[in-house]
Amino acid sequence: MQRLQAFKYELMPTSEQRRNMRRFAGSCRFVFNKALALQKQRYEQGEKKLGYVGLCKELTAWRNSTETAWLAEAPVHPLQQALKDLERAYTSFFAKRTEFPRFKKKGQADSFRYPDPKQIKLDQGNSRLFLPKLGWLRYRNSRDVLGAVKNITVSQSGGKWYVSIQTEREVAQPVPQGGAVAIDMGVARFATLSDGTFYAPLNSFKRQETALRKAQQAMSRKVKFSNNWKKAKARVQRIHSRIGDARRDYLHKTSTAISQKHAMVCIEDLQVRNMSKSAKGSAEQPGKQVRAKSGLNKSILDQGWFEFRRQLDYKLAWNGGWLVAVPPQNTSRTCPCCGHVSVSNRQAQARFKCMECGFEENADVVGAINVLRAGHARLACEVSGAGMPPAAGTHGSDSFRLDAGMSAVGISGL
């Protein structure tokens, strides 16, 4: 099977390369914004939206015009990729997945992408790679790149430059290891498994919140754009990237551990995006418990549940396993022992006690057990052809997922 994987390294650019990377990122941002402005203008004039090819023609004109001739100094492929990104942003918007594309600001996700592997040279032995108009760049070679290079993204974060190398390679069809497990995601515990193991909350942001607030206050006291202000600003950015690093590290370690030990992982299909968005409600329908909810939402975003789920999905696929999302339904109120459903089963936040049969257990473990049951039920529906659409997983076809699933839970031969 094909395996796509990205490898990310810190770059060690010369000051000239640093300058050029800043300029190229700026040119890509300029092209993105100019194209977005053009599309908006066309829309207001009742004209049709330009497609990617149409935008590329505009780009050629911009590169040839005397007004924006400096665009010609940037490599052309990354500029075209900026147009591709805009196209993708529009597609996501029309599919109601994201908000309407917004103009990019300087210093926000500065990056550019080289899509053509023929123009890229990777010399791992000497820890360097060649990119058009930048030349040979040295990088911190922390691990081998596996597979054929497909494309490369250069990005800046917290004052440092990084390269992300996307590769593709053929790997043997993995045999899934371990059995089925379910996860209950929570605020008090980041993740609780149905077998009782749990992972502590991440809360990296909370831990560093004080440091960040102090740094931000110090910055606000400085005269804007003065040297001391710049120093204070750099400090704020450093804390920001430290928070990001700690969070990424934790999520990767946790998702790797879970995906290596289990063939099937069930998870509640929480709409994190909706939850984080809708607490406030609309003017006609103000939300309930706005305060409590937005606190919870902040925790959810802080802990990166979305990212965690994405990582679980692809890591399970790498190991031959798969992720099953089940709709949330009374998972925290149903007794796994006798099936009694009642709000009063859960009187305390952390403890579950069945009012019917007296079964007691940690509430998160109970939630996970119920998610696991729902996952098995969902699988049974798929096997019997009840036509329930699979809720999760973007890897492979449905039939592949079904095959993997059957062997994973020991019902091959159906």
Stretch that binds Zn ion, among 18-26, 161-169, 191-199, 330-338 (CB under 5 A): 330-338
How far, in Å, CA of 281 to CA of 288, rounded?
Answer: 8
Q: In the complex with Zn ion, which residue's Cβ is closer, 109 or 341?
A: 341
Which residue, chain included where needed, has tokens 């079964």?
359
* Entry field: residues in the chain: 414
- Answer left, alpha or beta for residue 304, where phi above 0 means left and psi between -120 and 50 means alpha: left
Q: Which of residues 38, 337, 391, 406 is near Zn ion by CB under 5 A? A: 337
Residue among 340, 353, 376, 395 that touches Zn ion (CB under 5 A): 340
Nearer to Zn ion, 20 or 334 (CB): 334
State how far the Cα of 414 lies from the Cα of 403, in Å rounded to an integer.
10
Considering only 335, 369, 374, 408, the residue that binds Zn ion (CB under 5 A) is 335
CA angle (171 as vertex; 170, 175 as ends), nearest 5: 150
Options 87, 110, 364, 382, the catalytic residue: 364
Question: Which member of 110, 268, 313, 382 is catalytic?
Answer: 268
Q: How many CB atoms lie within 10 A of CB 60?
A: 14
Given 85, 110, 184, 313, the catalytic residue: 184
Beta bridge mates, 286: 281
SS3 letters for 56-125?
HHHHHHHHHCCCCHHHHHCCHHHHHHHHHHHHHHHHHHHCCCCCCCCCCCCCCCCEEEECCHHHCEEEHH
Q: What's phi and psi for 100, nearest 5 deg? A: -65, 140
User: In whole angstroms, how close is the CB of 369 to Zn ion at the nearest point?
Assistant: 12
Q: Which is nearer to Zn ion, 162 or 359 (CB)?
A: 359
Write the burial class of residue 55 (CB in 10 Å: 0-12 exposed, 13-18 middle, 19+ buried): buried
Nearest approach, Cβ of 345 to Zn ion (angstroms)? 8
Binding mask 223-262 for Zn ion (x = CB under 5 A): ----------------------------------------
**What is the three-class DSSP state of 143?**
coil
268 is catalytic: yes
* Least distance in angstroms from the C-beta of 347 to Zn ion: 14
Cα separation, 318 vs 314, in Å, equals 6
Give the Cα separation of 414 and 407 in Å (integer). Answer: 10
Cβ closer to Zn ion: 179 or 339? Answer: 339
Q: Number of residues in contact with Zn ion, rule: CB under 5 A?
A: 8
Query: Which residue is associated with the tokens 């099936």?
Result: 339
Is 116 designated active site?
A: no
Residues 350-379 that bind Zn ion (CB under 5 A): 354, 356-357, 359
| Residue 367: CB minimum distance to Zn ion, A | 15
184 is catalytic: yes
**CB of 306 or CB of 359, closer to Zn ion:** 359
Report the residue from 69, 175, 338, 381 that binds Zn ion according to the rule CB under 5 A: 338
Residue 138 vs 353, nearer CB to Zn ion: 353
Residues acting as catalytic residues? 184, 268, 364
- The footprint of Zn ion (CB under 5 A) covers 335, 337-338, 340, 354, 356-357, 359
